[in-house]
Amino acid sequence: MVGPAADPAGITEMSPEEAFKRLMEEGKKNPDQVQFVSRGDDSGTHEKEKAIWKQAGYDYEAVRVAGAWYIDSGRGMGPTLLLANEQQAYTLSDMGTFLAYGGELDLVPIIDKGDILLNVYSAIAINTERHPKANIDMANNLIDFLTSPEIQKLIGKYGVEEFGMQLFIPCAGAEPKS
């Protein structure tokens, strides 16, 4: 989660769920000072936002109409970051897009820890019994490529040179969390 450096809602060091609760409280009390900009576009990031609201104990449909503090951009991540920057508001963003727009933003990372923020990318071969025309050999070649030690190492180094931080954590072969 990124937001204004002054952190008017005082959410630094909170869990994402605690932060969303505070944003709701402070946003309702001070909508001119505490705002949240949502992608509102049913993207993966927007789905993650909805999951955090749910974990925080809120029905998302009630959140999105909870007041002027909640802004639905209906746009992609880049435009949503720019709108949040204009409003000096908080938003949920992937680190890659945030860093790519970094030179255009006054926003700073506020919360970057919490199991609910984990965004796992997966590659799964399709079921050839259900889709007999699928090229299973090519699918398996891609999976083997992505999970190879060489590519896992590249994934782990991605962003370090340009942004000074790792953007992805390679996890091929790791047991999924339950």
H/E run at residue 28: helix 16-29
Confidence band of 98 (pLDDT split at 50, 70, 90)? very high
Q: Which domains does the chain have, with CATH numbers?
A: 2-116 (3.40.190.10), 120-178 (no CATH)
CA distances in angstroms from 177 to 43, 116, 140, 174, listed in the order given: 23, 12, 24, 9
Q: Which of 9, 92, 10 is nearest to 52 (CA)?
A: 92
pTM of the model: 0.83
pLDDT 10s digits, 14-71:
999 999 999 999 999 999 999 999 999 999 999 999 999 999 999 999 999 999 999 9
Side chain identity at 16, as an amino acid letter?
P
pLDDT 10s digits, 5-23:
999 999 999 999 999 999 9
